[in-house]
Amino acid sequence: MVNKISKRVFIKELSEFFYWKAVKLFERGLKNDHYEYFYTTYFQLSKEYYDNKAILDIGCGPRGSLEWAERTKERIGLDPLADKYLNLGAYKHKLTYIKGYSENIPFADNHFDVLCSFNSLDHVKDIPKTCCEIKRVLKPGGIFLLIVDIHSIPTITEPQKTNWSIISDFFSEFEIVNEKHLERKVKTRIYSNLRANQQVSLNKKYGVLSAMLKKL
C-alpha cells in the first residue's frame, strides 16, 4: 500500500513539474503580474495590509506568487517541488521557497499573519491534515485566503474531491470575512473564473470557492 501511494505521489509531482515546464515554454517565461490583484483588490485588502507581516503561500508553484509583497517581514512559498522550481528560474524571485508538504508545515505554532492556498487545496495528499496545519501555524487574528476548484472527480494532479462545505467542515471556528461560490466557466482558468464573478447555486457539483477567513 505504501509503495502504491508513493508511486501515485511520484507520478503526480512529475506531471505537475512537466506541466510547469510546458507553461514556461508557452509563455516564454513564467508570469506573475496577476497575483497582486488577487491578494489585494479581489479580497478587498490594500497592499499596505501586508507590511511587516509573515506570509505563507501553500502550494506556491514556480511563478513567484509573492514577488509583489516587498514590505513583508517574511514571505515563504511551500511546495513539494520547490527545489525543482529553482531550476525553472524561481531562484530569481525574492520570496523564499521551501520544499515541503502542507500536511507537515515546517514552522512553529502561530507563526504566520497570513496563509493562502490559491488553487492548491485539491492538490494535497490529505485535506483534513492540511487544514489542521493551517490552523496550527496561523496566528490568532491572522487571515487565511482560500481559492479552490470544487469538483467531484479526482485527477492525477488534483487527487482530492472538493465540495462547497470545506469551510464548515474544517474551519467552523474561524470567522468568515467573505465567501463566494462562483461558476467554473472555463475549466482550466481558475483566475478567469474569479474575474467573471458569476455566482452559482450550491447544488452544482463544479465551481470555484473563494473565501477570507479570520482565526479567532
C-alpha cell at 81: 517541488
For residue 210, the surrounding DSSP H or E stretch is: strand 207-214
Which pLDDT score, from 0 to 100, does residue 3 have?
Answer: 53
Q: Assign 18 to helix, strand or coil.
A: helix
CB 170 within 8 A of CB 131: yes
Residues 187-196: contacts with CB within 8 Å, 24+ apart?
190/119, 190/147, 190/149, 191/34, 191/38, 194/38, 194/42, 194/147
Q: 511563478: which residue's cell?
A: 63
Q: Write the CATH number of the domain with boundaries 2-214.
A: 3.40.50.150
Residue ranges of the chain with per-residue pLDDT less than 50 = 1-2
Which pLDDT score, from 0 to 100, does residue 5 have?
Answer: 53
CA distance 147 to 51: 22
Question: Is this structure's pTM higher than 0.85?
Answer: yes
CA distance 62 to 113: 22
Model confidence over 56-87: pLDDT tens digits? 999 999 999 999 999 999 999 999 999 999 99
Which pLDDT score, from 0 to 100, does residue 1 have?
Answer: 44
Which pLDDT score, from 0 to 100, does residue 6 have?
Answer: 83
Up-side HSE of residue 169: CA atoms within 13 Å toward CB? Answer: 10
CB 55 within 8 A of CB 72: yes
CA pseudo-torsion sign 195, 196, 202, 205:
negative
